Amino acid sequence: MIRRRFLGHALGVGGLALLPGWLRAGEMDHSMHDMGAMSGMDHSSAVQPLAAENALPGNAALQPLPKLLNQGSQPGVFKAELIAAPVAVELLPGQPTSFWAYNGSVPGPLIEAREGDRVEIRFINRLEQPSTIHWHGLPVPPDQDGNPHDPVAPGGERVYRFDLPKGSAGTYWYHPHPHGHTAEQVFRGLAGAFIVRAADDPLDNIAERHLLISDLKLNADGSIAENDANDWMNGREGQFVLINGQHQPTIELKTAERWRLWNACSARYLKLDLGGHSFSLVGTDGGLLEQPQTLQEILLAPAERIEIIVQPIAQQQTVALTALTYDRQKMGNVAPEQVLTLAQVTIAKGQPTGLPQTLRAISPLGKSSADKRVVFSENMRMENGQHQMDFLVNGKAFDMHRVDMRSQLGAVELWEVYNDSHMDHPFHIHGTQFQIVEFELDGKVTPAAFLAWKDTVNLRPRETVRVKMVQSFKGLRMFHCHILEHENQGMMATLEVV
Ligand SMILES: [Cu+2]
């Protein structure tokens, strides 16, 4: 019934029960596809038993992300095709899992382009739902940025075109953003990494490794679990956390390495720890910091990215890369947080590589010409005798046909975002990078520790963050909570840049 091509196997990399990015599969036939295409908004779906937590093996060497090949022949143009379609992958023996994938790969292929490049990606939608591609974090014109207003119909296609300006080098990603289907399309496998490189990268002498972290909620029969009521309330977390599609892989670090990490989970927070070893934070969502920052752990909220330098140590040691417990104040009767092992890392004995004191200059955004206030809130109400949660921005659920705010093209604005709820929510805005000015919680104001470019920032319950930003294209921009179940249920609003 299911045709499969295991390219990874042909390349001599074994282990069918893994889900590495290089493992591609043929399309599924339609009967399976229809089963997988049930609406993710159905809160009353029959609950199936989940696969056991030891059902996926680990301990295979971490594979690099597959790359999207540039099919363009002109210098300075990155031209390629992304096809969203169902694929079947055998994670559990004899029980194939139907993912939705870009070019048959979970996660999708890595796009690597350079500052100054023009990007032209033909997107072909072979799903049975409308979809779009949103270029998360990149300064892409609104009509090219996969807004829910611009769906690509099932069976349809379009070309996304945009330029990568100087200064845009950084660690981005791409994922669907259609109205009402974003959470489901991402948790079924549609997300990929996008790196923009600078001509003059001060760290380009250091070997690079990519860790795209995603989350998988798998039923015992191999199907991807539907969201249950708890997932819709707190955001979905699976029993498996994957790196580049692999469960608990191994990493061998022989010399200093520059790691780019993506939190591509729907809702899981990752408080990353490397066996207590310190590392240098060198970049955030929108590229390099001014100076490296030495850290021992860092919280990566959904959609955030970082670049870190991991160095050899005095004696070789194997340590776990873990997600430490972090209480994001989930509601209801939920399991206590647990430390999660993400990977085993063998760090070689050796001398650390010196890092430049200055990575680049970041100019602080100047005086704001307009102030905006955004309030995230939740509201519990009864509907047909059942509890129903609303997730709101400034008291309203998302309406695609309403403009919620307007900004002037090119104006520096100060945005005050307040989380008036009991749960953490990560704030994300499209089309630009912002600078965090300060946080405020319980009357205590904490200035940002250093200048950095960000497009996503976490808010604790009752916390305020103040950020400065500029929008550089006219048109509609979305801003929303990046717990995708919350976004899906209305914690999103529309900014019109005029
Ligand atoms: Cu949220």
Give residue 5 CA to ligand 1 midpoint distance, Å: 38
Taking the alpha carbons at both ends of the chain, their separation in whole angstroms is 53
Give residue 295 CA to ligand 1 midpoint distance, Å: 27
Residues 176-180 have a mean pLDDT of 97
Residues 209-223 have a mean pLDDT of 98
Residue 123 pLDDT exceeds 80:
yes
Give residue 485 CA to ligand 1 midpoint distance, Å: 7
Give residue 494 CA to ligand 1 midpoint distance, Å: 16
Length of the chain in terms of residues written = 498
Give residue 24 CA to ligand 1 midpoint distance, Å: 33
Residue 32 pLDDT exceeds 50:
no
State the Cα–Cα distance between residues 423 and 157, nearest whole angstrom: 38
> Order of strands across the sheet with 435-441?
386-393, 370-383, 413-420, 464-469, 435-441, 444-447
Give residue 429 CA to ligand 1 midpoint distance, Å: 13
Give residue 167 CA to ligand 1 midpoint distance, Å: 30
Residues 396-402 have a mean pLDDT of 97
Give residue 445 CA to ligand 1 midpoint distance, Å: 23
With CA atoms as reference, report the closest residue to 306 among 204, 166, 211, 411: 211
For domain 7-197, give the fold.
Immunoglobulin-like (2.60.40)
% residues pLDDT > 90 (the chain): 87
Give residue 378 CA to ligand 1 midpoint distance, Å: 9
Residue 451 pLDDT exceeds 50:
yes
Rg of the chain over Cα atoms, rounded to whole angstroms, equals: 22
Domain borders along the chain are 7-197, 207-347, 370-497
With CA atoms as reference, report the closest residue to 263 among 347, 185, 172: 172
Candidate CATH numbers 3.40.50.300, 2.60.40.420, 3.30.9.10, 1.20.1730.10; the one for domain 370-497 = 2.60.40.420
Residues 22-30 have a mean pLDDT of 35
Give residue 249 CA to ligand 1 midpoint distance, Å: 30
Sorting pLDDT into bands at 50, 70 and 90, what band is 46? low
Give residue 483 CA to ligand 1 midpoint distance, Å: 5
Give residue 45 CA to ligand 1 midpoint distance, Å: 22
Residues 263-270 have a mean pLDDT of 98
Give residue 391 CA to ligand 1 midpoint distance, Å: 7
Give residue 157 CA to ligand 1 midpoint distance, Å: 31
Q: Between the CA atoms of 253, 340, 314 and 293, what dihedral angle is there, to the nearest 10 degrees?
A: 90
Residue 144 has what pLDDT? 98
Residue 41 CB contacts under 8 Å (≥ 6 apart), including other chains:
180, 488
Q: Percent helix, strand and coil across the chain, each rounded to 5? A: 5, 45, 50
Give residue 431 CA to ligand 1 midpoint distance, Å: 20
Topology alike, domains 7-197 and 207-347: yes
Residue 403 pLDDT exceeds 80:
yes
What type of residue sits at position 152?
Answer: V
With CA atoms as reference, report the closest residue to 80 among 60, 108, 40, 43: 108
Give residue 360 CA to ligand 1 midpoint distance, Å: 33
Residue 385 has what pLDDT? 83
Residue 35 CB contacts under 8 Å (≥ 6 apart), including other chains:
98, 223
Residues 229-239 have a mean pLDDT of 95
How confident is the model over 414-433, as pLDDT tens digits?
999 999 999 999 999 999 99
Give residue 390 CA to ligand 1 midpoint distance, Å: 11
Give residue 481 CA to ligand 1 midpoint distance, Å: 5
User: Tokens for 198?
Assistant: 């600078």
State the Cα–Cα distance between residues 188 and 80, nearest whole angstrom: 23
Give residue 463 CA to ligand 1 midpoint distance, Å: 13
Give residue 490 CA to ligand 1 midpoint distance, Å: 10
How confident is the model over 375-395, as pLDDT tens digits?
999 998 888 887 788 999 999
Give residue 497 CA to ligand 1 midpoint distance, Å: 24
Can you tell me whether residue 491 is helix, strand or coil?
Answer: coil
Give residue 131 CA to ligand 1 midpoint distance, Å: 22
On average, the pLDDT of the chain sits at 91
CB-CB contact of 344 with 318 (8 Å): yes
Give residue 186 CA to ligand 1 midpoint distance, Å: 16
Give residue 352 CA to ligand 1 midpoint distance, Å: 40
Candidate CATH numbers 2.60.40.420, 3.20.20.70, 1.20.140.10, 3.30.750.24; the one for domain 207-347 = 2.60.40.420
What is the b/e burial string over 330-354, where b = at least 16 CB atoms within 10 angstroms of the residue's CB?
A: beeeeeebeebebbbbebeeeeebe
Give residue 236 CA to ligand 1 midpoint distance, Å: 11
